[in-house]
Amino acid sequence: MRSPVQRYLESIVEQCSGTGGEVAAYIPELANADPDRFALALATVDGHVYTVGDAESQYSIQSISKPFTYALALSDQGFGAVAEKVDVEPSGEAFNEISLASDTGRPPNPMINAGAITAASLVAGDSSSHRFNRVRDWFSGFAGRELGLDEEVYTSELTTAHRNRAIAHMLREFNILEGNPEETLDQYVRQCAISVNTHDLAMMAATLANGGVQPTTGKRMLEPTYVERVLSVMATCGMYDAAGDWISAVGMPAKSGVSGGIIAVLPGQVGLAVFSPRLDPHGTSARGVQVCERMSKDMDMHLMHVGRMSNTAVRARYALSQVSPRRSRPDADQAVLDEHGDRAMVYELHGDLLFAGAEHVVRAIVDDAPDLVILDVRKVDDVAAVARHTLLGLRTVLREAAGEAAVVDPHGVMPDPDAGTDQASPYFDDLDSAVRWCEDELLRRHGREPTDEQTLVNEHPLLRDLSLEAREVIDVRMEELHFSADEVVLEAGGKFSGVHVIVEGAAIATVERPSGGAVRLVTMNPGTSFGELALGTDGVQDTTVRAISDLTVLRLSAESIEEITATQPRVALEMWQAMTRDAYRVAERALRAGATFG
């Protein structure tokens, strides 16, 4: 089963296939780059990576190195020492502008070259080579694998680094750099020539998105307080003289590099990396910007789109076979459900569903690969448009594999755009009705039509497990009762009035909250019994049962049960044994379901 997230990313790449821009010609080795290479990688904070294009192809990291070197400088020196050498103010200037504050000599920020060279000098080490090795190990920790150096790019860039050499010497003139500026320049050029691929960059971005913890290794690379500073500087300065346009249109902290890479970070959710060597006038990947703008719009990835996030949108997931049944089934039907119940899954969701939450749901379902899915969104507060589209994409994937998804949505938080058409999904107000649909669908898929209502009644253990003699005694005492929709059948607090078996229609059982208002516990359909639980609560009914449609039930009254017990002990023994077996059956399956959730 292919993820709809993967499909979406592939479609975006096809739609954003612009050929504008030119490769970086001022560095000879980069001038030889294939302008049509492309890769996209999206990494979640739990380490799953989606890729499109050649995400394993290597290229030099270039200026995407800057936020990570700045992070290492902060980690080595602390806020105060770093702030004495480099500021955090947007410059509004190009990346290679010779720009220092007139009063202090400090570079405006660590994202332009002057600030990045300064940050490189603040990495702790005995020599430039020692500092560079620490930088490479640092980058490798963020990527989750050992990274190498592109010697050809390093040599090519160092021999043409006249402007950066002038910047380094000017920094030394103002005592921003200490020691030999040539050594610092060499270290800076080497860090820009570290070889990465788009998968690496996505993982590096995801580490920042994950609060400084590398998603796959679990290693803390950077303390949260430094992550905040790095992301803040990326948001205001990472895209140089286009930073305002970027943060308005895309809305994610980001950094670009002249080799054609871009990283973007959506805190708490994902890290994004795009590679395309054709650059716009700002020195940023033209196609990469186009892809990022489109994804931000489609996927609600703008930083200012605020939602209440939870660690995961999936509150619980379990197979249909682990759900305690609410009605009896004939043995042959139950055998099918027991055998194939693992092919249907229930996913209980909660919180606000943004892209990351929907992606987590979709990935869980794709990994499980069920035939039938129930999405229970009763505890979901809001669903962003991107989450809705993602889940609808999942429905398409399921249907292509001859599957189906049902939705439990009594509050209408995730309306079906196909409602009223033959493309509509099954929608239910409660989980029990959805489970009933799922069971019926499983039976059909395995050659059994769902049992008719009268057979369901006859298969109830109170009737099915009796001898012919006992059944005749019980049958004559069963009274047929009728209730209108919304009529109360049993009132909480009332005395035990008998065992009720639904013949037609449906009813709900509710309890009152201590703070007021009713909570629906279960919806009951034909073949379901109710009322007998009062026998275990001192004969007092602890739930209210109300008809939700015209309802017909068969009732064996409390008086009839007492009369049979007193006058026909053999029948009474069979009756109580049947009721006890049913209670144990329900309890056993409920415990099995409970073990799943515990």
Q: List, by residue number, the catalytic residues.
A: 63, 66, 188, 240, 258
Please, which contacts does 576-583 make with residues 24 or more away whose CB atoms are closer than 8 Å? 577/465, 578/461, 578/462, 578/464, 578/465, 578/466, 579/461, 579/462, 579/499, 579/532, 581/461, 581/465, 582/328, 582/460, 582/461, 582/462, 582/529, 583/532
**312-322 burial by CB neighbour count: b if 16+ within 10 A, else e?**
ebbbebbbbbb
Of 419, 458, 225, the residue nearest 328 (C-alpha): 458
Extract the tokens encoding 74. 């902060």
At 411 the three-state DSSP class reads: coil
Of 385, 389, 424, the residue nearest 404 (C-alpha): 424
Beta-carbon neighbour count of residue 446 at 10 Å? 13
C-alpha triplet 435, 437, 442: angle, nearest 5°: 95
CA distance 597 to 322: 10
Extract the tokens encoding 67. 């936020």
Extract the tokens encoding 192. 């820009």
Measure CA 443 to chain center.
Answer: 31
Question: What is the DSSP-derived secondary structure letter of residue 68?
Answer: H
Per the CB < 8 A criterion, the answer to whether 57 and 197 are in contact is yes
Phi and psi of 547, rounded to 5°?
-70, 135
Residue with tokens 């270039």: 62
**Residues composing the chain:** 598
Of 189, 293, 301, 188, the residue nearest 239 (C-alpha): 293
Rg (CA), the chain: 33
Q: Who contacts 452 (Cβ-Cβ below 8 Å, separation ≥6)?
A: none
